[in-house]
């Protein structure tokens, strides 16, 4: 459903903002086994956010085994010889901590937020499950059913999730961004314990991971503890690269699905470059101008002025490992059709191509991004996540340059980006029509 | 573009979590009552240059007249859509130009208006907050627009089995109380609301003598007092006394409802009335709920999810409000397994009434409820929400410390006694949303 989609998009948008001169507060190290460690002290509260980021996601999956990265993420909580089934959660909770994990296209991330005096426990648990996962076939069998239920919640019974999958699957014909993160149902049912074990062995190793901690600790002490525990884990062979390059799109692609729903939904997706392109900053600003707040273009025009959409927005993922999609979405109000919403979205794109955004819009977007950076500083969890996200795309210190690069974007840059990346004849369109 | 989480994020648990404990000895916030009755709460958090303000008016959906369900919600939605000085779009532009946010919305008990700004923009943020609270104009076209949007949102929410089930359950748990009526109303009830209704509701219920203003962030108590007094000091309460609401009454016999939807998964909700934090049994109940379905080590999580592979989401929680409380167990499972999951839930409820919890479970629950507290107060926004909640529910700013003490004292016998009071499975209302069993 859209609330989910939008909540997740917001996470990405929020992650697009980071703090000023943060990098000099970070203690960074790479252990001999390749584990990258980023530590930042923050003594305001007696807590720590401890995060493990593995450079593996649905992007690394083979056809026929989609969803295996996410399946493995579930299995990471099912125990090792030292800490058996359920022990991870029990120990974290018993120590007043909170933990969770997520899988995306590019990464799998685990976090524990906990009183900083309990940090030794977390180091112990995380270093243990990096190499010693049991992966008992019986546990895999029962967890498979849990993942299937998760897919039912997120996709089968959720109109927005359902449509999103369909659009991705037509937008990509070669690259693994084609497949849903949770995997196709057929693959979830089929994946074998041997495949999960092989996947774990291939990607879960110190040289494919980033450890980030922000909170109330002394960085030099913590680094010594991390070295002692994680340093023992042997380095693995480099994981195989993802070779697929998505070929240029040659024409419009469109999918129409009918599903029990109350309102139609329209998604549009355009292939765009990722952060390796200088245009990424223009696209990031464009996303803010289109969608951030009630003064943003799509809300103001489609929701407020024209009153033809209940919701409308656009989103760009600056952090995408490989080039992905710039998404647009709209939910037509009752009495309006998906065609109305699609036309209105396209009209806004057309306007972006024809005329530069106003000075006010551009300045507002820059101020919003800068403020978001400051707001994020308030949370150790968000700060740690942001360091990891920048590290994943080339280095945490990029965070410092990010705002300056955004500040340099001009209205002409944005107009050129819109002209280049939103060609009317190369769009991917998904329409969900409610079935009574 | 999307993430798959290992566990469902339990947003729904917030009311319970807010009731969780502080360990510090210094008060979490400064409190004073302004001459016009506003309760001002200030928490200084100087490290990050932001300020978060929450103005909570006791003007929630409980005050909706019986034939005007959704009135508080509509009032909240239109509050930021125009003032004596600015149109809605002007307000949007002004706050967003500085990267801040301004929003308003009603819940069951109150109508909360929030501002978050960089410290340097505090003056602007508070000016706008004062404008929308004190001089909203509720422009007719904005009322019309919001009415249509709320109706569309209600229509769309019919897609969400959790929302559908929650509405049906609330009606059963609170049959004779406004808590049984959806905050947003229904498509039909909202259609009948007029701008005059909104104006009257605001004039009668958004008033200084029932308003709490929490200011949290890079600001001192003296500054907060000065800035709030300058803008809200002249706000006078209406002559009529503030509306009162009765606490929830007895629910009558438990009921059961199946709501047919063409879904591959069924949403099961079991619920009944429970108790608020002011009742000493609340603390054993919080522990009992945690043992039953509170975390990843709970009995339901272990049996339904870890061992049975029957669900992605299964949990229980206490949901206290100002006028009453409920206890709810929720699970989502494939259609064919509904009877099995219901049976497991019933068995586990009964087990808590028949045998004491193990020492290990008791310790885990108490250690978590007490030990996780610092995580609940690690941002200015969370602190603001917490202090408003304890003030509004009449728990006192030292509630956190008392909670910790109370939870620490809970024994296995307490848990069993309270379970016997609240966990008899036949006393639960039941809603199942999904396809009929094959």
Give yes or no for a contact between B103 and B79, defined as CB atoms under 8 angstroms apart.
Answer: no
Segment B129-145, tens digit of pLDDT: 999 999 999 999 999 99
Residue B27, pLDDT score? 82
Q: Cβ B93–A380 below 8 Å, yes or no?
A: no
Instruction: Over range A420-427, report the average pLDDT.
Output: 96
Q: Are strands B256-260 and B429-434 parallel, antiparallel or unpaired?
A: parallel
Residue B108 has pLDDT above 50, yes or no: yes
Instruction: Over range A337-348, report the average pLDDT.
Output: 97
CA angle B379, A285, A7 (to 5 degrees): 45
Using CA of residue A146, residue A152, residue A158, residue A160, what is the dihedral sign? positive
Q: Cβ B155–A46 below 8 Å, yes or no?
A: no
Q: Cβ B265–A364 below 8 Å, yes or no?
A: no
Give start and end residues of each alpha helix (H) in A76-184: 87-94, 119-131, 137-151, 159-171
Give start and end residues of each alpha helix (H) in B80-135: 88-97, 122-134
Give yes or no for a contact between B399 and B226, defined as CB atoms under 8 angstroms apart.
Answer: no
Which element (helix H / strand E) includes A323? none
Residue A299 has pLDDT above 50, yes or no: yes
Q: CB within 8 A of B366, min separation 6: which ones?
A: B287, B407, B408, B410
Q: d(Cα B284, Cα B252) in Å, to the nearest integer?
A: 24
Segment B185-205, tens digit of pLDDT: 999 999 999 999 999 999 999
CB neighbour class for A396 (10 Å; exposed up to 12, middle 13-18, buried from 19): buried
Q: Which of A119-128, B17-26, B93-102 has the lowest mean pLDDT?
A: B17-26
Q: d(Cα A318, Cα A274) in Å, to the nearest integer?
A: 6
Q: Please tell me which residue, B438 or A279, carries the higher pLDDT value.
A: A279
Residue B25 has pLDDT above 50, yes or no: yes
Q: What's the whole-number average pLDDT of chain A?
A: 93
Residue B6, pLDDT score? 56
Contact status of B264 with chain A (Cβ, < 8 Å): yes
Instruction: Over range B81-96, report the average pLDDT.
Output: 98
Tokens representing B47 are: 């490290």
Q: d(Cα A129, Cα A124) in Å, to the nearest integer?
A: 9
User: Per CATH, which fold does B37-232 belong to?
Assistant: Cytochrome Bc1 Complex; Chain A, domain 1 (3.30.830)
Tell me the chain B residues in contact with residue A104 when contact means C-beta distances shorter than 8 Å. 2-3
Task: Please give the residue of chain A at the shortest CA–CA distance from B372.
Answer: A96
Q: Cβ B152–A333 below 8 Å, yes or no?
A: yes
Return the bridge partners of B317, or none.
Answer: B328
Residue A400, pLDDT score? 86
Among A318, A404, A399, residue whose Cα is nearest residue A38: A399
Among B179, B199, B153, residue whose Cα is nearest residue B61: B179
**DSSP 3-state of B113:** strand
Segment B333-363, tens digit of pLDDT: 999 999 999 999 999 999 999 999 999 999 9
Instruction: Count Cβ atoms below 10 Å from residue B188 Cβ, excluding itself.
Output: 11
The residues spanned by each domain of chain A are 33-230, 253-435
Q: B residues 194-223 near A, CB within 8 Å?
A: none
Using CA of residue B234, residue B239, residue B240, residue B242, what is the dihedral sign? positive
Residue B22 has pLDDT above 70, yes or no: no
Q: d(Cα B287, Cα B164) in Å, to the nearest integer?
A: 28
Q: What's the whole-number average pLDDT of chain B?
A: 93
Q: CB within 8 A of A143, min separation 6: which ones?
A: A71, A74, A75, A78, B309
Return the bridge partners of B52, or none.
Answer: B116, B216
Q: What DSSP string runs through A174-201?
A: SSGGGS-TT--HHHHHH--HHHHHHHHH
User: Per CATH, which fold does A253-435 belong to?
Assistant: Cytochrome Bc1 Complex; Chain A, domain 1 (3.30.830)
Report residue B383 CA to chain centroid gap: 15
Residue A16, pLDDT score? 34
- Reported as a pLDDT band with limits 50, 70 and 90, residue A14 is very low
Mutate to test the interface with B, among A76, A112, A145 (most CBs of B within 10 A): A145
- Reported as a pLDDT band with limits 50, 70 and 90, residue A13 is very low
Q: CB within 8 A of A244, min separation 6: which ones?
A: A174, A175, A176
Q: How much of chain A, in percent, has pLDDT values that exceed 90?
A: 92
Kindly state which CATH superfamily the domain A33-230 is placed in.
Answer: Metalloenzyme, LuxS/M16 peptidase-like (3.30.830.10)
Q: What DSSP string runs through A341-364?
A: HHHHHHHHHHHHHHSPPPHHHHHH
Task: Please give the residue of chain B at the shortest CA–CA distance from A42.
Answer: B47
- Render the burial of B111-130: b for 16+ CB within 10 Å, e for the rest: bbbbbbbbeebbebbbbbbb
Q: Which of A221-225, B150-154, B244-248 has the lowest mean pLDDT?
A: B244-248
Tell me the chain B residues in contact with residue A292 when contact means C-beta distances shorter than 8 Å. 96
Mutate to test the interface with B, among A262, A329, A334 (most CBs of B within 10 A): A262
Side-chain-facing half-sphere of A343: CA atoms under 13 Å = 7
B145 to chain A nearest CA, in Å? 8
Q: CB within 8 A of A221, min separation 6: which ones?
A: none
Residue B52 has pLDDT above 90, yes or no: yes
Residue A2, pLDDT score? 29
Residue B250, pLDDT score? 85
Residue B251, pLDDT score? 83
Tell me the chain A residues in contact with residue B100 when contact means C-beta distances shorter than 8 Å. 371
Q: d(Cα B58, Cα B197) in Å, to the nearest integer?
A: 17
Q: How much of chain B, in percent, has pLDDT values that exceed 70?
A: 94
What interhelical angle do B140-157 and B71-79 show, nearest 10?
120
Q: CB within 8 A of A277, min separation 6: which ones?
A: none
What ranges make up the beta strands (E) of A116-236?
Answer: 209-215
Instruction: Over range B397-417, report the average pLDDT.
Output: 94
Domains B37-232 and B256-434 share a fold: yes
Residue B373, pLDDT score? 84
Among B19, B66, B269, residue whose Cα is nearest residue B162: B269
Instruction: Over range A139-159, report the average pLDDT.
Output: 95
Q: Cβ B155–A334 below 8 Å, yes or no?
A: yes
Instruction: Count Cβ atoms below 10 Å from residue B412 Cβ, excluding itself.
Output: 17
- Helices (H) and strands (E) in chain A — how many of each? 16, 11
Give yes or no for a contact between A127 and A140, defined as CB atoms under 8 angstroms apart.
Answer: no
Q: d(Cα B63, Cα B184) in Å, to the nearest integer?
A: 13
Q: Cβ B159–A377 below 8 Å, yes or no?
A: no
Q: B residues 378-397 near A, CB within 8 Å?
A: 378-381
Instruction: Over range B382-402, report the average pLDDT.
Output: 93
- Reported as a pLDDT band with limits 50, 70 and 90, residue B31 is very high
Q: What DSSP string runs through A71-92?
A: HHHHHTTS--SSS-TTHHHHHH
Residue A247, pLDDT score? 97
Segment B261-293, tens digit of pLDDT: 999 999 999 999 999 999 999 999 999 999 999
CB neighbour class for A429 (10 Å; exposed up to 12, middle 13-18, buried from 19): buried
Domains A33-230 and A253-435 share a fold: yes
How many residues are given for chain B? 438
Q: Which of A10-24, A328-342, B320-334 has the lowest mean pLDDT?
A: A10-24
Give yes or no for a contact between B143 and B78, defined as CB atoms under 8 angstroms apart.
Answer: yes
Smallest Cβ distance to B375: which of A47, A146, A325? A47
Return the bridge partners of B289, or none.
Answer: none
Instruction: Over range A250-276, report the average pLDDT.
Output: 97
Q: What is the DSSP letter of B83?
A: B
At residue B257, φ and ψ (nearest 5 deg) are -145, 140
Among A39, A36, A47, residue whose Cα is nearest residue A379: A47
* The model's pTM: 0.93
Q: Cα torsion for A75, A76, A79, A85, to the nearest 10°? A: -60
The residues spanned by each domain of chain B are 37-232, 256-434
Instruction: Over range A112-138, report the average pLDDT.
Output: 97
Which element (helix H / strand E) includes A246? none
Q: How much of chain A, in percent, has pLDDT values that exceed 70?
A: 95
Side-chain-facing half-sphere of B52: CA atoms under 13 Å = 22
Contact status of B334 with chain A (Cβ, < 8 Å): yes
Tell me the chain B residues in contact with residue A377 when contact means C-beta distances shorter than 8 Å. 48
Segment B209-241, tens digit of pLDDT: 999 999 999 999 999 999 999 999 999 999 999
Smallest Cβ distance to A152: which of B89, B334, B374? B334
Q: Cβ A375–B97 below 8 Å, yes or no?
A: no
Residue B165 has pLDDT above 60, yes or no: yes
Residue A436, pLDDT score? 74
Task: Please give the residue of chain B at the shortest CA–CA distance from A263.
Answer: B156
Smallest Cβ distance to B148: which of A4, A153, A307? A307
Tokens representing A99 are: 């933990």
Q: d(Cα A31, Cα A231) in Å, to the nearest integer?
A: 7
Q: What DSSP string runs through B196-251?
A: HHHHHHHHHHS-GGGEEEEEEES--HHHHHHHHHHHHTT----SSPPP--PPP---
Q: d(Cα A398, Cα A211) in Å, to the nearest integer?
A: 17
Task: Please give the residue of chain A at the shortest CA–CA distance from B362.
Answer: A94
ipTM: 0.92
Residue A146 has pLDDT above 70, yes or no: yes
Tell me the chain B residues in contact with residue A54 when contact means C-beta distances shorter than 8 Å. none
**DSSP 3-state of B6:** coil
Return the bridge partners of B431, or none.
Answer: B257, B269
Residue A356, pLDDT score? 98
Residue A186, pLDDT score? 98
CA angle B55, B58, B62 (to 5 degrees): 135
Contact status of B186 with chain A (Cβ, < 8 Å): no
CB neighbour class for A81 (10 Å; exposed up to 12, middle 13-18, buried from 19): exposed
Residue A21, pLDDT score? 59
Instruction: Count Cβ atoms below 10 Å from residue A277 Cβ, excluding itself.
Output: 14
User: Per CATH, which fold does B256-434 belong to?
Assistant: Cytochrome Bc1 Complex; Chain A, domain 1 (3.30.830)
Q: d(Cα A79, Cα A69) in Å, to the nearest integer?
A: 17
Residue B177, pLDDT score? 95
Side-chain-facing half-sphere of A425: CA atoms under 13 Å = 3
Instruction: Count Cβ atoms below 10 Å from residue A174 Cβ, excluding itself.
Output: 11
**DSSP 3-state of B389:** helix
């Amino acid at each position: 459903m859209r609330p989910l989609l939008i909540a997740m998009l917001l996470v990405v948008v929020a992650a697009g903002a980071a703090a000023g001169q943060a990098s000099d507060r970070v203690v960074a190290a790479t252990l001999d086994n390749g584990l990258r460690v980023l530590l930042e002290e923050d003594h305001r509260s007696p807590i720590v956010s401890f995060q493990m980021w593995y450079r593996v996601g649905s992007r690394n999956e083979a056809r026929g085994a989609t969803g295996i990265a996410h399946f493995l993420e579930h299995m990471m909580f099912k125990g090792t010889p030292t800490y058996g089934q359920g022990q991870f959660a029990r120990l974290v909770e018993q120590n007043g901590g909170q933990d969770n994990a997520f899988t995306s296209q590019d990464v799998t991330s685990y976090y524990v937020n906990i009183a900083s005096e309990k940090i030794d426990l977390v180091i112990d648990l995380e270093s243990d499950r990096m190499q010693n996962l049991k992966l008992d076939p019986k546990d895999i069998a029962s967890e498979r059913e849990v993942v299937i239920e998760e897919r039912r919640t997120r996709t089968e019974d959720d109109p927005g999730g359902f449509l999103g999958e369909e659009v991705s699957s037509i937008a990509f014909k070669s690259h693994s961004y084609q497949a849903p993160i949770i995997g196709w149902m057929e693959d979830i049912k089929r994946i074998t314990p041997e495949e999960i074990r092989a996947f774990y062995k291939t990607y879960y190793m110190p040289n494919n991971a980033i450890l980030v901690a922000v909170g109330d600790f002394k960085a030099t002490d913590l680094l010594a503890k991390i070295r002692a525990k994680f340093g023992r884990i042997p380095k693995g062979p480099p994981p195989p690269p993802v070779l697929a390059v998505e070929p240029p799109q040659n024409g419009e692609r469109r999918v129409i699905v009918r599903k029990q729903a109350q309102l139609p939904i329209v998604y549009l997706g355009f292939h765009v470059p990722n952060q390796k392109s200088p245009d990424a900053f223009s696209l990031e600003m464009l996303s803010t101008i289109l969608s951030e707040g009630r003064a943003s273009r799509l809300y103001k025009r489609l929701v407020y002025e024209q009153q033809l959409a209940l919701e409308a927005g656009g989103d760009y993922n600056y952090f995408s490992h490989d080039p992905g999609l710039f998404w647009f979405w709209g939910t037509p109000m009752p009495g309006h059709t998906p065609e109305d919403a699609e036309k209105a979205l396209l009209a806004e794109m057309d306007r972006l191509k024809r005329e530069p955004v106003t000075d006010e819009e551009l300045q507002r977007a820059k101020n919003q991004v800068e403020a978001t950076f400051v707001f994020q500083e308030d949370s150790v969890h968000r700060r740690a996540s942001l360091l990891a996200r920048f590290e994943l795309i080339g280095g945490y210190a990029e965070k410092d340059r990010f705002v300056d690069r955004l500040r340099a974007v001009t209205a002409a840059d944005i107009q050129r980006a819109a002209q280049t990346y939103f060609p009317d004849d190369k769009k991917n369109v998904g329409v969900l029509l409610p079935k009574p | 573009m999307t993430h798959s989480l290992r566990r469902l994020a339990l947003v729904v648990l917030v009311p319970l979590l807010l009731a969780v404990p502080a360990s510090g000895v210094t008060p979490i916030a400064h409190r004073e009552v302004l001459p016009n009755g506003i309760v001002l709460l200030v928490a200084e958090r100087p490290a990050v240059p932001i300020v978060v303000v929450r103005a909570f008016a006791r003007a929630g959906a409980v005050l909706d007249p019986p034939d005007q369900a959704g009135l508080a919600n509509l009032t909240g939605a239109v509050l930021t859509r125009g003032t004596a000085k600015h149109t809605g779009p002007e307000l949007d532009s002004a706050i967003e130009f500085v990267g801040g946010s301004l929003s308003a919305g009603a819940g069951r008990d109150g109508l909360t208006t929030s501002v978050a700004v960089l410290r340097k923009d505090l003056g602007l943020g508070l000016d706008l907050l004062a404008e929308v609270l004190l001089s909203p104009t509720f422009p007719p076209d904005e009322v019309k627009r919001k009415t249509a949007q709320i109706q569309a949102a209600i229509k769309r929410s019919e897609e969400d089995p959790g929302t559908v089930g929650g509405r049906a359950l609330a009606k059963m748990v609170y049959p004779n109380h406004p808590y049984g009526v959806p905050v947003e109303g229904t498509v039909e009830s909202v259609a009948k609301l007029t701008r005059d209704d909104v104006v009257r509701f605001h004039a009668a219920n958004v008033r200084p003598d029932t308003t709490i203003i929490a200011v949290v962030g890079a600001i001192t108590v003296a500054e907060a007092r000065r800035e709030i007094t300058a803008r809200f000091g002249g706000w006078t309460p209406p002559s009529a006394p503030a509306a009162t609401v009765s606490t929830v009454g007895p629910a009558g016999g438990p009921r059961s409802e199946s709501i047919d939807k063409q879904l591959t998964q069924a949403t099961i909700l079991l619920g009944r009335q429970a108790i608020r934090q002011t009742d000493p049994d609340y603390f054993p109940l919080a522990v009992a709920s945690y043992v039953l379905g509170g975390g990843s080590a709970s009995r339901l999580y272990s049996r339904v999810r870890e061992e049975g592979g029957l669900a992605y989401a299964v949990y229980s929680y206490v949901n206290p409000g100002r006028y009453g409380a409920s206890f709810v167990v929720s699970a989502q499972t494939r259609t064919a397994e509904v009877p099995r999951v219901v049976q497991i839930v019933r068995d586990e409820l009964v087990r808590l009434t028949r045998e004491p919890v193990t020492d290990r479970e008791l310790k885990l629950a108490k250690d978590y409820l007490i030990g996780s507290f610092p995580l609940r107060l690690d941002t200015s926004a969370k602190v603001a929400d917490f202090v408003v909640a304890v003030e509004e529910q009449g728990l006192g700013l030292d509630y956190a410390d008392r909670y910790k003490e109370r939870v620490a004292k809970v024994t296995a016998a307490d848990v069993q006694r309270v379970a016997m009071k609240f966990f008899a499975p036949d006393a639960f209302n039941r809603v199942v949303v999904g396809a009929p069993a094959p």
